[in-house]
């Protein structure tokens, strides 16, 4: 949340249009093009339908909201009525459903008596042909009476056409309607390729003008961050950024220019914080889990597997190396990489010694994959090491961070007894990464475990790979008792703590306790963080009414299902991978 301006990163439609306008960057030419074409619309004229493609978080929803806002705020509102069918929709299983939903939006805003009655009649009619015929009549009537066209904007067209409307005739029907109905212009969005549009045998093949939303450039991302700071009233931001230009480059390195990530990572750069960046990072990774899960779900299983394998390898890899790691044929890997490249998941880099190499351009995604999918200790810590190397690129920053961490480590050692060694090791590892005295701290890490059954070697990397970093056993009673004594305020640490309590409450299968915790936290912290918990609670309390989950945003739904899984299988250790470990290592927590 930025002061009084709440930017909903997952639900741009909930953000005030003025705030969206205030942070809108890099897409002006496209919006202007689309609006200019709409201005020229008249019956019996050419109509251009669009498919806007781009990965999740690239700004598709935001773009549609801006288009809608600008139409409603301009003279175009006399010519065009915009309807957005939100991406939460999972019920667009047929053209009948699609038209009915669009008609419902029209009836809400147009308030024409006949349209309202029509919606009421059709809503429960099982005859799809009838619904299509009569819904089209209603739109025609609206067009005739107002002289307006309808700009229908549908999100996640890939899901609608490739998954939900599986019957080919539905796609033919959509094409017929788009050709015959003069009053209709369609803008669809998709995070990935839509088979129904890109396969030559499909009715809608090459039917749309395809516009790809690219990642922001470094300059555009800097502009976005400045706009966010301006919205927040953070006057010191520009001065701070000037001091540490490397941060902008590092942020760009990690986000790959993804606008949603840029907004999410803005706090890392907005304030002069050093030592708590690790906590902030882990918390962000945690909160990004539903988003990235959904992104992975957009991929076919083989594509997802290849991406996963790629993330666990060194940053640049050749198809042959990847094929070897993934135990697949090089031919298949090349074809998968081609498709992944077209969808923006991977990027082909300039050749290395005559070999083609690929990277995952959005490093934060790569870090998340490492955090989520690695089964080795080294993999689980590697992401932190990679992050800090880039984030603190200046020696001055290294030293400053090192000093702060060293102090924290000492404090942790004096206060915390049980897991002191593990606690210290993590701090030392981090220090080791950024310190100019790496060797010295490597020795300290080794010394910490002197006498244990670890085969100690002087090779730091190898030693690091052997250090066990597992969550300590927790005392749920103690934690829950602590919860009731806690003074709450809105900051990242408290959000993490609250998430940890909720985690325990779900594991304990105590619904009343979950409600109790949510009641307390939502008063003080940003309630959006706990949306999945609340929905999971409602779902469980409703005796598992599926409609509660089905109507949710896909990313929220994923998080809700994880929580329900946790509730159903409290002893499944794999669930702990999604829990932020730094929470229970917080010093204050154990005092």
Partner 1 sequence: MSINLVTGGVPRGQDYFGRESFIEQLWSRLRTDNVLLLAPRRYGKTGAMFQLLDNPRAPFRPIFINVEPIESASDFMIELLASLRQDDRLAQMTNKLWEGTKNIGKNLKKSTAQIDIGMFKVHLREHTDVQENWALYGEKIIELLEKGQDRPLLMIDEFPIMVHHIAQHNIDELRRLMRWFRSARLTPKAKTRFLLGGSINLMPTLDAIGLIGTVNDLAIEKLGPFDDETAFRFIKTAITSQKMVVGEGVIQHIVDIIGTHVPYLLSVLVTSLFDRQRTKGKPITNEMVDDVFSTELLSRATPFFNHYYRRLQDYYAGDEVRQAKVLLSLLSRAAGPVQRDTLYQEYLRVSGIPHTSDALEKFLWLMQKLENDFYVSLFENKYDFSNRTIKLWWQTNYGYQFV
Nearer to partner 1, 180 or 453 (CB): 180
- Site for partner 1 contains 238 (CB under 8 A): no
Q: Which is nearer to partner 1, 47 or 148 (CB)?
A: 47
Question: What are the residues facing 209 on neighbouring strands?
Answer: 50
Q: How far is the CB of 424 from partner 1 (least distance, A)?
A: 52
Spatial distance between the Cα atoms of 509 and 565, rounded to a whole number of angstroms: 11
How do 184-190 and 355-359 pair as beta strands? unpaired
DSSP structural state of residue 202: S
Nearest-approach distance from CB 182 to partner 1, in angstroms: 9
CA 68 to CA 71: how far, in whole Å? 5
379: number of Cβ within 10 Å: 16
Which span sits near partner 1 by CB under 8 A: 45-53, 83-91, 343-351, 551-559?
Answer: 45-53
Distance CA 509, CA 504 (A): 8
Nearest to 289 by CA among 588, 10, 591: 10
> Contact 261/57 with Cβ under 8 angstroms?
yes
Least separation, in Å, of the C-beta of 133 and partner 1?
3
Contact 483, 496 (CB under 8 A): no
45 versus 542: smaller Cβ distance to partner 1: 45
Least distance between partner 1 and beta carbon 33 (Å) = 9
Binding piece for partner 1, criterion CB under 8 A, among 46-54, 313-321, 478-486, 533-541: 46-54
- 153 sits in the region (left: phi over 0; alpha: psi -120 to 50; else beta) called beta
135 part of the interface to partner 1, by CB under 8 A = yes
Q: Is 45 in the site for partner 1 (CB under 8 A)?
A: yes
When asked if residue 519 is in the footprint of partner 1 (CB under 8 A), the reply is no
- The residue range among 43-51, 396-404, 526-534, 550-558 that interacts with partner 1, by the rule CB under 8 A, is 43-51
Told to check if 574 binds partner 1 by CB under 8 A, we report no
Which residue's CB is nearer to partner 1, number 209 or number 399? Answer: 209
Whose Cβ is closer to partner 1: residue 47's or residue 427's? 47
Check: CB of residue 432 under 8 Å from CB of residue 460: yes
Instruction: Dump the DSSP string for 210-225.
Output: EEEPPPPPHHHHHHHH
Q: Where are the alpha helices (DSSP H) in 244-394?
A: 245-255, 259-270, 277-297, 301-311, 319-326, 330-342, 363-373, 377-391
Q: How far is the CB of 221 from partner 1 (least distance, A)?
A: 16
* Under rule CB under 8 A, residue 392 binds partner 1: no
Task: Give 383's contacts (C-beta < 8 A, 6+ positions apart).
Answer: 285, 367, 368, 370, 371
Taking the complex as a whole, the smallest distance from the CB of residue 351 to partner 1 amounts, in Å, to 16
Residues between 174 and 213 with contacts to partner 1, criterion CB under 8 A: 175-176, 178-180, 198-201, 203, 205-209
Q: Both tokens of residue 404?
A: 């702060």
Of the listed pieces 127-135, 395-403, 473-481, 527-535, which binds partner 1 according to CB under 8 A? 127-135
Count of residues engaged in binding partner 1, rule: CB under 8 A: 40
CB of 382 to partner 1, least distance (A): 34
What tokens appear for 482 in the block? 């602590």
**Contacting partner 1 (CB under 8 A), which of 38, 92, 98, 134?**
134
Phi/psi at 16 (5° precision): -60, 135
Of 217 and 320, the one with the shorter C-beta distance to partner 1 is: 217
Residue 47 sits in the site that holds partner 1 (CB under 8 A): yes
Q: Which of 2, 96, 103, 136 binds partner 1 (CB under 8 A)?
A: 136
Report the nearest approach of partner 1 to the CB of residue 29 (Å).
5
With binding defined as CB under 8 A, does residue 49 bind partner 1? yes
Between CA 247 and CA 221 the distance in angstroms is 12
Among 69, 172, 324, 400, indicate the residue that binds partner 1 (CB under 8 A): 172
Residue keyed to tokens 């009053």 = 183
**DSSP H or E run through 359:** strand 355-359
Q: Which of residues 306-345 bind partner 1 (CB under 8 A)?
A: 342
Closer to partner 1 by Cβ: residue 120 or 233 = 120
Tell me which DSSP letter residue 165 carries.
Answer: -
The nearest distance, CB 164 to partner 1, in angstroms, is 17
Here's the x/- map for partner 1, 138-157, by CB under 8 A: it reads as: --xx--x-------------
Nearer to partner 1, 24 or 207 (CB): 207
> Among residues 140 and 347, whose Cβ is nearest to partner 1?
140
For the record, the structure tokens of 274 come out as 């050093």
- 46 near partner 1, judged by CB under 8 A: yes
Q: Where are the alpha helices (DSSP H) in 27-127?
A: 28-39, 60-72, 95-110, 113-122
- What does the alpha-carbon distance between residue 377 and residue 145 come to, in Å, rounded to a whole number? 67
Tokens of 445: 């890490």
- The residue with tokens 């709440």 is 6
Phi-psi group of 273: left, alpha or beta (phi > 0 → left; psi -120 to 50 → alpha; rest → beta):
beta
What's the min distance (Å) between Cβ of 175 and partner 1? 6
Shortest distance (Å) from residue 316 CB to partner 1: 22
CB 99 within 8 A of CB 92: no
Q: How many angstroms separate the CA atoms of 148 and 195, rounded? A: 32
Query: What is the smallest separation between the CB atom of 141 and partner 1, expressed in angstroms?
Result: 5
| Chain residues that interact with partner 1, rule: CB under 8 A | 29, 37, 40, 44-49, 129-130, 132-137, 140-141, 144, 169-170, 172-173, 175-176, 178-180, 198-201, 203, 205-209, 342
């Amino acid at each position: 949340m930025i002061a009084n301006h709440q930017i909903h990163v997952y639900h741009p439609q909930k953000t005030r249009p003025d705030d969206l306008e205030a942070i809108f960057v890099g897409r002006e030419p496209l919006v202007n093009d689309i609006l200019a074409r709409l201005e020229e619309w008249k019956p019996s004229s050419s109509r251009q339908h669009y498919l806007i493609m781009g990965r999740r978080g690239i700004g598709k929803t935001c773009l549609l909201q801006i288009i809608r806002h600008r139409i409603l705020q301009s003279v175009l509102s006399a010519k065009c009525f915009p309807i957005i069918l939100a991406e939460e929709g999972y019920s667009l299983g047929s053209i009948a459903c699609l038209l009915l939903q669009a008609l419902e939006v029209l009836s809400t805003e147009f308030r024409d008596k006949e349209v309202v009655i029509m919606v009421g009649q059709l809503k429960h009619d099982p005859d799809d042909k009838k619904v299509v015929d009569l819904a089209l009549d209603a739109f025609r009537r609206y067009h005739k009476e107002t002289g307006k066209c309808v700009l229908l904007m549908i999100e996640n067209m890939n899901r609608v056409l490739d998954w939900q409307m599986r019957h080919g005739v539905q796609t033919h029907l959509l094409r017929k309607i788009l050709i015959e109905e003069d009053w209709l212009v369609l803008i669809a969005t998709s995070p990935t390729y839509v088979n129904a549009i890109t396969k030559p045998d499909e009715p809608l093949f090459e039917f749309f003008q395809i516009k790809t939303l690219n990642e922001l450039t470094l300059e555009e991302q800097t502009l976005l961050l400045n706009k966010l700071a301006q919205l927040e009233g953070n006057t010191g931001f520009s001065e701070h950024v000037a001091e540490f230009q490397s941060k902008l480059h590092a942020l760009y390195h990690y986000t790959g220019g993804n606008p949603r990530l840029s907004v999410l990572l803005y706090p890392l750069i907005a304030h002069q914080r050093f030592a708590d960046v690790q906590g902030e990072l882990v918390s962000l990774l945690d909160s990004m889990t539903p988003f990235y899960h959904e992104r992975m779900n957009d991929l076919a299983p083989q594509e997802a597997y290849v991406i996963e394998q790629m993330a666990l390898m060194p940053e640049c890899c050749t198809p042959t190396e990847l094929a070897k790691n993934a135990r697949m044929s090089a031919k298949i890997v090349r074809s998968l990489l081609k498709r992944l490249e077209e969808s923006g998941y991977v990027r082909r880099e300039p050749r290395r010694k005559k070999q083609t190499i690929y990277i995952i351009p959005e490093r934060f995604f790569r870090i998340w994959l490492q955090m989520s999918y690695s089964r080795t200790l080294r993999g689980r810590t590697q992401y932190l090491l990679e992050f800090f190397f880039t984030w603190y690129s200046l020696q001055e920053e290294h030293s400053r961070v090192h000093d702060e961490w060293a102090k924290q480590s000492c404090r942790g050692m004096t206060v915390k007894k049980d897991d002191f060694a593990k606690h210290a090791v993590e701090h030392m590892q981090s220090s080791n990464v950024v310190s100019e005295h790496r060797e010295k701290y490597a020795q300290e890490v080794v010394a910490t475990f002197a006498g244990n059954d670890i085969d100690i070697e002087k090779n730091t990397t190898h030693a690091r790979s052997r250090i066990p970093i597992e969550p300590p056993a927790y005392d749920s009673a103690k934690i829950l008792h602590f919860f009731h004594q806690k003074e709450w305020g809105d900051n990242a640490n408290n959000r993490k703590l609250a998430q940890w309590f909720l985690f325990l409450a779900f594991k304990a299968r105590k619904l009343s306790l979950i409600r109790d915790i949510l009641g307390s936290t939502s008063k003080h912290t940003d309630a959006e963080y706990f949306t999945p918990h609340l929905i999971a609670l409602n779902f469980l309390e409703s005796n598992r009414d599926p409609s509660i989950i089905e109507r949710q945003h896909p990313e929220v739904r994923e998080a809700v299902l994880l929580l329900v899984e946790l509730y159903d299988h409290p002893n499944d250790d794999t669930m702990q991978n999604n829990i932020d470990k730094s929470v229970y290592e917080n010093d204050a927590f154990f005092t």
